[in-house]
Amino acid sequence: MASRTGALALTHSLVLQFLADHGYSAAHEALLLEIDAADAPTYVAPSMDRPRITRPELDDVEDRVAVATAITDVPPLVAVVEAWRDALVADAVARAAVADDDADMASINRTPTDPSLKLLAPPRDAAVFHVHHLQNILVARLLSIPSIDAHQHVLVTAAADRTLRVTRLHPTDISQAVETGSSLVGTLGSILDLVQLPTLSHVVAVAGMDGSIALVDLRAVLASDADAVTRAPRRKLHAKLCSVVAVSRDGRFVVSGAADRRVVVTEIDSASGTWAQSEAKETEWSVPGAVESLTVLPDGRTVLIAARNAADLWFGVVPDGDGTQAGTLYARALNADPNDTHVSWTPMHLAVSPSGLYALAATSAASGRVVLLRLSQENDGAYTVRHVRNFYGAKVDEWSKPRVAWVGSDAYFAVTSGDHQVYVYVTRAKSVHTTNVQIVARLLGHEHVVRDLACVGKWLVSGSYDKSVRVWQVLP
């Protein structure tokens, strides 16, 4: 009876809070009166940013509140409904494909046997670079650049102070900076994303807030060449801010996505790190909403694209270098139920697993949902996706831009959270609809939003609005 009373109290409170948040004052008052007449329980957890529901006419309101002591916060009603709806769909899909799951998920359903794939318990912050920039850090990556240092990673960061910074780390102590250089980015505005060219490790393609893409030589930045970025070969490819950039596996094409709802594929000279001579060698795709994320799939030529206001994931095929095959674009249903054309969340960041079999999508869902997708190729090379699991637990609000990164193998992944932590999940589970029981570590230390996250080998690097960069050792 007690558990039923607690559930009833929470249900009443969720509905009451929903009515209050959305301005349904008449319905809110009427429901309060009916709950009071029935002498029914309610419960609202204390919260600094949520108005407490009260009954003004009653002096003994506190005596009529059934306090559920095990509950520390009341989630938004929309998050509860969303989680319930997703659970129904996920469970139905799982029952229909349980045999396929057993076979397809073998690589992550069993404990990794390779010791190098076991999570370090607990992960530790191996290096902290305080006030690495003067303003919010937007991009933080560890790159291997033999022409700069053959024995250690190089830390590359960009921030809202409109600087690009390169830091060479000590070969045996990653917490020590050996040399640091920086350059102003000029009319690019802030750099929102960057990707290393596979054929020229010292060159990165950077995405600018002004809609441009520039090919920057990091060696010049490390030497504190003030014009290293402004002098870099640049193309203005988008009418609005460019949020994400990727590169084909052969290094011949740069792919950029922007708020102008366009994805542009541009050919470069992979030997010199400059743009191809003709601007005609571009392919353009349009999607229904602003492009939030894109990533190159294992075949090296297909780009997985996530956009706002879309019930699909988009797959763009980079054209052949000789021009014999034009780039194509096709869609796959985003929902687990392909007949459902409504989606209430957006994949904010995509990451392909080390094996190439899976993709993770960190979403804008209020429930903190992270979707695990199974990637498959048909006979004609086109990709299909299948929902495998949903993970919950990270904190997300309407302004969040969560980031996700695989950790070492298909067995673990990390995701940023609105509480300024980084959550590490284990992907193997008995259920396709999982809660925070899958969280195996919480990385503490940042004091503001974690804006970027990337994993290289045993290191996980995070950049934050607290102006710091942290390098975590997550694997032995």
CA 159 to chain centre: 18
**Mean pLDDT on 415-441:** 80
Range of the domain at 290: 98-473
Residue 99 has pLDDT above 50, yes or no: no
Confidence of residue 186 (pLDDT cuts 50, 70, 90): very high
Share of the chain above pLDDT 90, in %: 51
How far is Cα 33 from Cα 27, in angstroms, rounded to an integer?
A: 10
Is 17 part of a structural domain of the chain?
Answer: yes
Confidence of residue 433 (pLDDT cuts 50, 70, 90): low
Q: The domain that contains 120 carries what CATH number?
A: 2.130.10.10
Q: What are phi and psi of 219, to 5 degrees?
A: -65, -35
For 151, other C-beta atoms within 10 Å of its C-beta total 10
Q: What pLDDT score was predicted for residue 31?
A: 86
Helix (H) or strand (E) holding 464: strand 459-464
Higher pLDDT, 279 or 306: 306
Is 79 part of a structural domain of the chain?
Answer: no
Residue 86 has pLDDT above 90, yes or no: no
Residue 70 has pLDDT above 50, yes or no: no
Q: What pLDDT score was predicted for residue 72?
A: 40
> Are 175 and 126 within 8 A, CB to CB?
yes
Residues 266 and 308 grouped into a single domain = yes
Residues 31 and 103 grouped into a single domain = no
Is 169 part of a structural domain of the chain?
Answer: yes
Is 84 part of a structural domain of the chain?
Answer: no
> Are 372 and 389 within 8 A, CB to CB?
yes
Residues 144 and 292 grouped into a single domain = yes
Higher pLDDT, 150 or 214: 214
Q: What are phi and psi of 212, to 5 degrees?
A: -100, 160
Is 149 part of a structural domain of the chain?
Answer: yes
Q: Where do we find the tokens 């193997």? A: 428
Count the domains in the chain.
Answer: 2
> Are 301 and 317 within 8 A, CB to CB?
yes
Q: What pLDDT score was predicted for residue 109?
A: 43
Residue 255 has pLDDT above 80, yes or no: yes
Q: Where do we find the tokens 């904190």? A: 395
Is 80 part of a structural domain of the chain?
Answer: no
Residues 68 and 177 grouped into a single domain = no
Candidates 297, 305, 300, 397; CA nearest to 349 is 305
**Mean pLDDT on 413-427:** 93
Residues 467 and 342 grouped into a single domain = yes
Residues 212 and 69 grouped into a single domain = no
Indicate the average pLDDT of the chain. Answer: 82
pTM: 0.77
Is 339 part of a structural domain of the chain?
Answer: yes
Q: Token pair of 438, please?
A: 């899958």
Residues 17 and 114 grouped into a single domain = no
Candidates 300, 156, 258; CA nearest to 216 is 156
Q: What pLDDT score was predicted for residue 426?
A: 87
Candidates 130, 121, 195, 158; CA nearest to 470 is 130
What is the per-residue DSSP string for 13-56?
HHHHHHHHHTT-HHHHHHHHHHHHHTT--------TTSPPP--T
What is the per-residue DSSP string for 318-339?
PPPTTSSS--EEEEEESSSSTT
Residues 46 and 116 grouped into a single domain = no
Q: What pLDDT score was predicted for residue 97?
A: 45
On the question of a cis peptide bond just before residue 46, with omega within 30 degrees of 0, the verdict is no
How far is Cα 281 from Cα 300, in angstroms, rounded to an integer?
A: 19
Cα angle at 166 between 165 and 168, to 5 degrees? 150
Is 88 part of a structural domain of the chain?
Answer: no
Confidence of residue 334 (pLDDT cuts 50, 70, 90): confident
The sheet that has 124-129: what strands, in order across it? 124-129, 469-473, 459-464, 450-456
Helices 2-21 and 77-96: angle between axes, nearest 10 degrees: 120
